[in-house]
Amino acid sequence: MTKLRSLLAAGVAAVFSFAAIPGIASAEVTVLGWPGGSEETALRAAVESYNALPGTAAEDKVELLFFNRDGFYDKLQADLAAGSDAFDINLIATYSIGRYAPFMEPVDLGADAEKVFGKPILETMQFEGKQYGVPTDLSLHFMYYRKDLIDALMADQGAKAKYAEISQKYLGKSLEPKAPDEWTWDDWAATALYFTKSVNPDSPVRYGTVLQMKNLLFNMMVFQSLPRSFGADWTDESGKVTVDSSAYRAGLELYKKLYDAGATPKDSLSYEYPETNAAWTSGQVATALQWNAAASELMDPEKAPAVAKDTAVVAPPAGPEGRKDHIHGLGLGLNKSSKHKEGAVRFLKWLATEDAALTYAKAGGSPALAPSVVEKIAADRPDLVKLGQFAGSYGYVMRGATSAKALSVYEAQAKEFTAYWAGQKSLDDALSAVGQSMADLLK
Amino acid sequence: MRTTSQQREGRLLLTPLVAFLIIFLSFPALVDIVYALSNVTFQTMRAPEMVGSRNFGAVLTDPEFWSACWFSLRFGVLTAVIECALGLGLAIFLSPIVSRHGWTTAILMLPMMVAPSMVGLMYRLVLHEFAGPLPYYLTLWFGTSPAFLDASHAFWTLVVVEMLQWTPFAFLLFHVAYISIPSEIREAAAMDKARAWQILWRIELPMMKTTIAIALGIRFIDGFRVFDNVFALTGAGAGGSTMSLSIYIYQSFFKGGQIGQAVAASALLFFASLIVLYGGAMLKYYLERRRTTA
């Protein structure tokens, strides 16, 4: 019995020791960042600079924590809802702020933050008028195109005649090739059809475009700019869902037309970001609407030797309402359950300064910066200049897209829209179903 | 009645196990029951509002739930039957080689060592039109390659992927059962001039039927609850065409934030499993009773 008591005492002591270890380890500010890719590299560089500052107290030193990307937001949701204090600062995204806001605290970044990022970019991290985070990276979409193919098309009279014939047959109007920066969606569609082997056997590549059509919410973000340029929005000002509109119909029908004509790979209904990159780097695709983050891979001669030198980007094509580009910000905000709020706020305020933003950008991050700030790194990061231009000129956020159920709206759209593209549902049925789901989610 | 020190010690030693069961099984089960009967979201997880059986009604009237059930049932039955048929054939056909060269078993087991989610990611690459070897060679030899993952082919592609990974499991079970049949029985049958197929049909298969039933059961359960490789390969599929019951529950919980509904669906699945297991046990009892009375 004495032995048993000793064993129990040792067990209890061990339990207390393990319980105390996280307390000791969490003497610093812990940041839960977006793992992998340029965001992690940039955040590591920024944290290293912050920790090396002479004014950073030992208890304010920042340490980093990374999960896996798969299911990241679900794990974050579960941790926040459980009141976890394993991290003081966590990642947030424009379309999930409403979902996480109840478990986070707004932060005051100071007046200078607006000079660094500009008001529209700070707004990507706001919910109900309150600032919930520092915008660290901005995502939008580029229209990638093959310069060599388009130049050859523009210079060839015979090709122009074929182009006009194809556009008349598939789009009902005779079009002439244009420079990508002047494209309407019809011009892009005609170009995609012209460069499709099954439509035009003389095409030098197999497909005119590569569409991301997998039943996945991120693919809906890519698609959204097409109907938006025709005037689409999720709701009207009274909050009534307006997805069953001529604008959404135009966008959905154009995607289906290209898919049915074979202008995009047959497996496009299972394609997302990496599949699109793989298709592009194969050199068998002429255009692709893809995330800006892919530029570093698709335009790098080492990663895409077959196409990098001929790859160029413009903003997405124009519709009747002009050009539109879906913006989606990543940022860092304050966990309500944090045990080191003061230190965490000090780090967030530093992260919103010009020095920190430039450090982050130089290390490979993609912050959208005010023109006066971005010009300081334009030589190192010319893509950030384009990012800022596109975001400022064409960036938009759908009405209701920062609500708590925004991600669920994208999910509902992904399910119904892919059902239409796959031929499982009529357009009327798909729009009716998604309208019903959105009305339930956004009420 | 006084408890002896031995009894007290026994109870004390049992305490950690009881505490473990209460903390890790009873508490989550209790929370599940509360959530299944509540209107609860991530924001109200600590203050769920009781709504009775409304979540069960919502699940049972949701066409997506039945569509997911149908997918899981079809997938579970088909993969179990195909894997067991192939596994049985391989176990019998390869038995002389595997018995003589034991190391071949390790090679045959390799697919089982890979995590299902990794298998899903691997086939995303293998089947990709521009990066995958299979479409490359099909295009090279036949001029075209099918769209393996489009809405009309995805189900069968997933069945084949599951089959390629888990047939070795069925093979292993059948191989062990096959080699454990005493050789004297086969020799006696041969002396009676029984043909090979007669030995197989009348002696070997009846002696392996328990193993066959277990293998079918295990493979059906694994196929029915499939998640990882399907999720990595096609997600829920175009229009939800490859949404298994596990994916339905996951999406309702995390993506839809409908925690009550998701937990109610998992509770229904649990009750359905209990009924199937009870039915199976009853059937076994009935068959054994009939055999002993015959």
DSSP B28-71: HHHHHHHHHTEE--GGGTTSPEE-TTHHHHHHHT-HHHHHHHHH
Do A192 and A257 meet the contact criterion of CB atoms below 8 Å apart? no
User: How near does any CA of chain B get to the CA of A422, in Å?
Assistant: 6
| Structure tokens belonging to residue B25 | 């099984």
Closest residue to A269, CB basis, from B13, B124, B150: B150
Q: Which chain A positions have a beta carbon within 8 Å of B151's beta carbon? A: 269, 422-424
Chain Cα centroid distance, residue A35: 15
Q: Looking at chain A, which residue has its C-alpha nearest residue B5?
A: A1
User: How near does any CA of chain A get to the CA of B77, in Å?
Assistant: 24
Best residue of A207, A267, A420 to probe chain B, by most B CBs closer than 10 Å: A267
Which runs of consecutive H residues, i.e. helices, occur in A215-299?
A: 217-228, 246-260, 273-281, 295-298
Q: Looking at chain A, which residue has its C-alpha nearest residue B252?
A: A408
- pLDDT tens column, A84-124: 999 999 999 988 888 889 999 999 998 889 999 988 788 88
Taking the whole predicted model, whether its pTM rises above 0.90 is answered as: no
Domain presence at residue B130: yes
Q: Does the interface ipTM go beyond 0.85?
A: no
Q: Tell me, what DSSP letter sits at residue A184?
A: B
Query: Which residues lie closer than 8 Å to A176 by C-beta, 6 or more apart?
Result: A160, A163, A164
Domain presence at residue B4: no
pLDDT string in tens for chain B (294-residue length): 566 788 888 888 889 988 888 888 888 888 889 999 998 887 787 788 888 889 999 999 998 899 999 999 999 999 999 999 999 999 999 888 888 888 888 888 888 888 888 999 899 889 998 889 999 999 899 988 888 988 889 999 999 999 999 999 999 999 999 999 998 998 999 888 889 889 999 999 999 999 999 999 999 999 999 999 999 888 888 888 899 999 999 988 887 778 899 999 999 988 888 888 888 888 888 888 887 886
pLDDT value at position A4? 45
Closest residue to B128, CB basis, from A102, A275, A419: A275
Domain that holds residue B229: 66-258
Closest residue to A216, CB basis, from B128, B147, B235: B235
| CB contact A278 to B (< 8 Å) | yes
Contact A416 B239 (CB under 8 A): yes
Beta bridge partners, B100, equal none
User: How near does any CA of chain B get to the CA of A214, in Å?
Assistant: 7
Contact A266 B150 (CB under 8 A): yes
Q: Tell me, what DSSP letter sits at residue B2?
A: P
Contact B257 A422 (CB under 8 A): no
Q: Which chain B positions have a beta carbon within 8 Å of A438's beta carbon? A: none
| Structure tokens belonging to residue B126 | 């293998």
DSSP strand E in A341-403: where? 395-396
Q: Which chain A positions have a beta carbon within 8 Å of B13's beta carbon? A: 4
Domain presence at residue B84: yes
Q: Which chain B positions have a beta carbon within 8 Å of A265's beta carbon? A: 129-130, 147
Q: Tell me, what DSSP letter sits at residue A69?
A: S
Domain presence at residue B282: no
Domains and CATH numbers, chain A: 19-139+328-396 (3.40.190.10), 141-325+405-442 (3.40.190.10)
Contact A215 B42 (CB under 8 A): no
| CB contact A96 to B (< 8 Å) | no
Instruction: Count structural domains, chain B.
Output: 1
pLDDT value at position A436? 93
> Which residue is it, tokens 């989550």?
B28
pLDDT value at position B28? 85
Contact A408 B240 (CB under 8 A): no
Domain presence at residue B252: yes
Contact B238 A269 (CB under 8 A): yes
| Structure tokens belonging to residue A97 | 């702020």
| Structure tokens belonging to residue A173 | 């109007």
Closest residue to B42, CB basis, from A1, A77, A425: A77
pLDDT value at position A70? 66
Cβ within 8 Å of B, A 411-440: 411, 415-416, 418-425
* C-alpha span between B79 and B157 (Å, rounded): 11
Q: Tell me, what DSSP letter sits at residue A124?
A: T
Of the candidates B68, B162, B76, the residue with the CA atom closest to the CA atom of residue B120: B162
Domain presence at residue B269: no
* C-alpha span between A421 and A190 (Å, rounded): 19
Domain presence at residue B279: no
Best residue of A73, A266, A277 to probe chain B, by most B CBs closer than 10 Å: A266
> Which residue is it, tokens 């193919």?
A149
* C-alpha span between A121 and B183 (Å, rounded): 78
Do A338 and A89 meet the contact criterion of CB atoms below 8 Å apart? yes
Domain presence at residue B132: yes
Tell me if residue A243 falls in helix, strand or coil. coil
Q: What are phi and psi of B232, to 5 degrees?
A: -70, -30
* C-alpha span between A275 and A279 (Å, rounded): 6
Q: Which chain B positions have a beta carbon within 8 Å of A3's beta carbon? A: none
Regions in chain A scoring below 70 on pLDDT: 1-27, 69-70
* C-alpha span between B241 and B152 (Å, rounded): 9
* C-alpha span between A221 and A321 (Å, rounded): 18
Residue B184 sits in a domain of what CATH number? 1.10.3720.10
pLDDT value at position B3? 66
Contact B239 A418 (CB under 8 A): yes
Tell me if residue A235 falls in helix, strand or coil. strand
DSSP A133-161: -EEEEEE-EEEEEEHHHHHHHHH-HHHHH
